[in-house]
Amino acid sequence: MRRVCWFRSDFRLTDNHMLHRVLKDMGEGDDLDFVFWLNPKYCHPFEVRHDYFFSTMRTFMDDLEAKGLGLRVLVAETEDAFVKQLGEMDVLYFNAEYVEPFKQRDDRVIESLGEEVKVVRLLDRHLFHPDAFRTKGGDPYKVFTPFKKAAYAEQPPAPYEVDVDRLSQYIRSKNEQPSELKELFKRCKREWKGLGETEAKKRLTRFVNDRMVDYDEKRDIPSIAGTSRLSPYLRTGVLSIRTIAEQVLSARQSKGRDTYYDELLWREFYYMVMVKFHGLKDQPFNDKYKSIEWEDNEEQFEKWCNGETGYPIVDAAMRQLNETGWMHNRLRMIVASFLSKHLLLDWRKGERYFEQKLIDYEAASNIGGWQWAASVGTDAVPYFRIFNPTTQSERFDPDGTFIRKYVPELKHITDKSIHFPDPSERDDYAMPLVDHKEARERALERFKAL
Ligand code: FAD
């Protein structure tokens, strides 16, 4: 029998449900192929997130080679072309995607394969199946707290064992680098630290052992490493969510540990909401806000993207995103609120900008986060709670360390005025795009009208 494992965003050999399952199924005389579908359409323009993704993939391929394994990279622009290249086979395995549009892509691949090929889809990217929790009335949860309560009552699944030595007995594929992949690898210019499974696990262990206990107190301060920074590993699948949950929950109970596990459950919640309620990328969860009249101001949008709004904390955050492909959670909330409330620009524009840039982009978490901040989503912040960027800055970056790192124009300014410099201190720095008070009033009126 010929069995094929289709890797997507799961670049890891340990605790990989697909690999665990295929090893269980392998029989005498069976052979095994690892494949990856490269669709060149998706890499234009080549952004920092592509650099991160393909650098990770290259590290994974090196790891495979070192263990006598390999990945066949198939270049195709459509599902049919991909299936053609897969060739004859009996069983296709992959770790399921539940969120649109990836689920639909997988459905099309299965349709194109026809009935002779057996398909094994496995739950891997999340702890719980999207149908795992229901309200008493049998509906999906729309509010986080009761969802969390239900999730706390369940034991998360243990990591899956994978015998890598056994894999190398069966594997037929060698690493293949078609010219399209070589070209993408060449375009990866950044020096990423800590790529690959071994490094990711070290980072997880360091966080759990040394920093998790203080997570509840330090996670809101962007100038320090108060959070785990594991999101890019989750995105590329270098680290499994089960491995993380197991280490976290076996640590000694603390407020930090519980708060951290809650965050993992937010990830579960948003993905469950996205699966159960369709079309959230384009429409707010809350119908009431479908007709909100957003401003149409391309110039202000561009200034927000470039970190030139004249609000130092917003600008530092956007520059962090543009330079590194990652942004601290507190800052994601601040800039999303600023775009949707202060500038009254459509949250969907911001969501798409984040999609373009983030190395940890997850549709469900990003859309959930944006709808939360714009007050149009499930369990969202009420519209009348509008973040004041200056007081947020004073609270979470009190001495301006973070601002100074990303907005060098303000390096010389005192700690006190760095959060909102006077016009006379803005020689090299933008004037504020809007006045906080006026912008706040305008947003309140616009939301209240609905
Ligand atoms: P930690 O604080 O160490 O948290 C650990 C893990 O928990 C994270 O890696 C992530 O998987 C999960 N998590 C933490 N907070 C959240 C949250 N609020 N919602 C869902 N999951 C969470 N997260 C993404 O992974 N991808 C996105 O595209 C994304 N977009 C966002 C957009 C906005 C507007 C907002 C407000 C939040 C967004 N988040 C997103 C959630 C959060 O900002 C990131 O998960 C977090 O900053 C990643 O850094 P970390 O790994 O150090 O997080």
Give the model confidence (pLDDT) of 349-365 as tens digits. Answer: 999 999 999 999 999 99
Exposed, middle or buried, 138 (CB in 10 Å: 0-12/13-18/19+)? exposed
Alpha carbons 238 and 217: distance in angstroms, whole number: 28
Please, what are the domains in the chain? 1-124 (3.40.50.620), 126-156+197-276 (1.25.40.80), 287-448 (1.10.579.10)
**Residues forming a β-bridge with 35:** 6, 72
* Backbone Cα Rg of the chain: 23
* Confidence label for 252 from pLDDT (cuts 50, 70 and 90): very high
Please check the confidence at residue 43 and state whether its pLDDT lies above 90.
no
Which ranges of 114-208 would DSSP assign to H, the alpha helix? 144-152, 164-170, 179-187, 197-206
Q: In this model, does residue 130 exceed pLDDT 90? A: yes
As a residue count, the chain comes to 450
Q: Of residues 16, 97, 197, 266, which has the active-site annotation? A: 266
In the predicted model, what is the mean pLDDT of the chain? 96
Cα separations (Å) of 238 from 109, 231, 242, 253? 24, 10, 12, 26
C-alpha of residue 166 to centroid of ligand 1, in Å? 36
Residue 450: the pLDDT is 86
Q: Which of 347, 362, 366, 372 is catalytic?
A: 347
Active-site annotation holds for 192: no
| Whether pLDDT at 368 is above 90 | yes
Distance from the alpha carbon of residue 217 to the mean position of ligand 1, in angstroms:
17
Could you say which of 6, 304, 370, 372 is catalytic?
Answer: 370
62 C-alpha to ligand 1 centroid (Å): 29
Q: Decide if 372 is catalytic.
A: no
User: What does DSSP assign to residue 253?
Assistant: P
Q: What is the ipTM of this complex?
A: 0.99
Pocket test for ligand 1, best of 267, 321, 348, 381 (most atoms within 8 A of CB): 267
- Using pLDDT thresholds of 50, 70 and 90, give the confidence band for residue 448: very high
How far, in Å, is the centroid of ligand 1 from the Cα of 231? 7
Q: What is the pLDDT of residue 431?
A: 97
- Percentage, residues of the chain above pLDDT 90: 95
pLDDT above 90 (res 42): no
Q: Whose Cα sits closest to atom 31 in ligand 1? A: 366
pLDDT recorded at residue 40? 87
Q: Is the pLDDT of residue 379 over 90?
A: no
| Sheet with 91-95, side-by-side order of all strands | 72-75, 31-38, 2-7, 91-95, 118-122
Residue nearest to atom 45 of ligand 1 (CA): 231
DSSP notation for 125-142: SSSS-TTS---TTSPPP-
Distances in whole angstroms, Cα of residue 93 to Cα of each of 16, 239, 267: 12, 19, 25
What mean pLDDT is predicted for residues 255-282?
97
Pair type for strands 72-75 and 91-95: unpaired
Ligand 1 site residues, Cβ closer than 6 angstroms:
219, 227-231, 234, 263-264, 266-267, 270, 329, 332-333, 336, 354, 358, 360-362, 365-366, 369-370, 373
Cα 413 to ligand 1 centre (Å): 31
6 is catalytic: no
Which tens digit of pLDDT belongs to each residue from 168-208? 999 988 999 999 999 999 999 999 999 999 999 999 999 99
**pLDDT at residue 205 in the model:** 98
